[in-house]
Amino acid sequence: MKLTFRTFNCGAGDCLFLILQKEDSSFCIMVDCGYLKDEILTFITEELNKRIDLLIVTHIDNDHISGLVSLLDKLPDLQIGRILFNCYHRPIIEQPLVLSEKQAAALAELKQRLPSVNVTVDGKINAKEAISLSEKILKNESWAAAWACEEVIAGQEILLDGDYGKITMLSPLQEDLNALELQFKKEFWSKFFDKHSKQYKADEEIYEVLLRLWETTIIEERASKVTYTKPTKDSFLKAADTKVLPVSLPNRCSIAFVYEYNNHRFLLLGDADPGIVAASLKGKIEGEMPYLMDMIKVSHHGSSHSTTSELMKIADSMHYYFTGGNKEERPSLETLSRIITEPLNGQERRVLHFNRKNTVLKDLCAMPELEEFPCEMDLENKPYEVEI
């Protein structure tokens, strides 16, 4: 079987594909989409024939969801076999509550704060509109049927149809999803002036909108002016020992998983917490550590607090993929240092792949001392292909 891993530059966020091909069939996994570029739409339309067998939405964050809303709007005939998305999950009840006129108006106003997408009608752009992903899914009978109602949590195993291997979830933890639901109820109270004590017909949409806006507030509060200094060999080496800060609750709730087929493993980390991933790998995969993966998609676009030396002692690879990011913080010098300077575990070298360049990366590649380390920098975002 041939496996191809592809990433697309979709701005700050992720857009990933695992394509599994046998002689007479194929299976496609799509993970997130921050911004829907024409090349992504063309790829799904022409190369995938408008078919995604498994769509994984790692977490409720604009740079992972916004492009999916645009995709579903532009391809109403897109076939999706199964959707994994931790939004509001509830048992089906006969008579959920309907929002009052005042609450419905409040929700409509809140939705206008979400990133807007170009809405198409009869193949033509009609207007820009703020739409939630959950709303888009549930309005399409086929997609709604593909969206599993159960929560996706660490420890779950999913066997892929057609004997295409399996996925083992490494994050999130149930306790973090519970904490996120508690935050949702706080946001509901503050925006709708009522306790969320019963189920509402629009709960999925309300949950997503409130928590996406809350996530934006967290990012704004945590934002700080980055004082950037061009790296030297000394500062590069010291960067690996920089203190790792706690990961935010929304990112702790990110889906991370390992795809396995025979003895091959592919680690896709979303924006997950490295401590959670490390603990899950210890408990679920047997054998000597570190577990050598065929490839690793680095967590949170290479932020300084999402990759640790402790995690690398548990999971390592010859190939590391960095996706998205921003000017000076992601990918960070700290994460690049931790990966490049970690002793090898049987590999000849490490190859670091990037689909978006930033100042840190450009300066690091220009640093002559980088040649002293057994690493290769792929700035062309080459797909990873392997027979497994």
The DSSP annotation for 222-248 comes to H----------HHHHHHHTTSPPPPPP
The predicted model gives 286-306 an average pLDDT of: 94
Question: Quick one: pLDDT at residue 286?
Answer: 77
- For the cut 80, the answer to whether the pLDDT of residue 125 exceeds it is no
Q: CA angle 55-276-53, nearest 5°?
A: 10
Q: CA angle 102-92-58, nearest 5°?
A: 80
Question: Quick one: pLDDT at residue 160?
Answer: 98
First to last CA, the chain: 5
Amino acid identity, position 68: L
Question: Quick one: pLDDT at residue 281?
Answer: 95
- Helix or strand holding residue 353 (H, E): strand 350-354
For the stretch 171-196, pLDDT in tens is 999 999 999 999 999 999 999 988 99
The predicted model gives 267-289 an average pLDDT of: 92
For the stretch 59-83, pLDDT in tens is 999 899 999 999 999 999 999 999 9
For the stretch 210-252, pLDDT in tens is 999 999 888 776 666 667 889 999 999 999 999 999 999 999 9
Give the three-class secondary structure for 100. Answer: coil
Look at 101-105, 281-285, 380-384 and tell me which has the smallest mean pLDDT.
281-285
- Helix or strand holding residue 339 (H, E): helix 333-341
For the stretch 26-61, pLDDT in tens is 999 999 999 999 999 999 999 999 999 999 999 999
Question: Quick one: pLDDT at residue 120?
Answer: 64
The strand order across the sheet containing 295-297 reads: 157-159, 166-171, 256-261, 264-268, 295-297, 319-322, 350-354, 375-378
Percent of the chain clearing pLDDT 70 (strictly above): 95
The predicted model gives 157-167 an average pLDDT of: 97
**Taking a C-beta distance cutoff of 8 angstroms, is the pair 298, 320 a contact?**
yes
- For the cut 90, the answer to whether the pLDDT of residue 378 exceeds it is yes
Rounded to 10 degrees, what is the CA torsion of 78, 82, 86, 87? 50
Question: Quick one: pLDDT at residue 198?
Answer: 87
Grade residue 95 by pLDDT with cuts at 50, 70 and 90.
confident
Grade residue 14 by pLDDT with cuts at 50, 70 and 90.
very high
Question: Quick one: pLDDT at residue 126?
Answer: 57
Give backbone dihedrals phi and psi of 42, rounded to 5 degrees, phi first.
-65, -40
The predicted model gives 79-93 an average pLDDT of: 87
Neighbours of 5 (CB within 10 A): 22
- Dihedral sign, CA of 63, 69, 75, 81? positive
The predicted model gives 8-17 an average pLDDT of: 95
The predicted model gives 343-371 an average pLDDT of: 94
Mean of per-residue pLDDT scores for the chain? 92
Question: Quick one: pLDDT at residue 148?
Answer: 79
Grade residue 115 by pLDDT with cuts at 50, 70 and 90.
confident
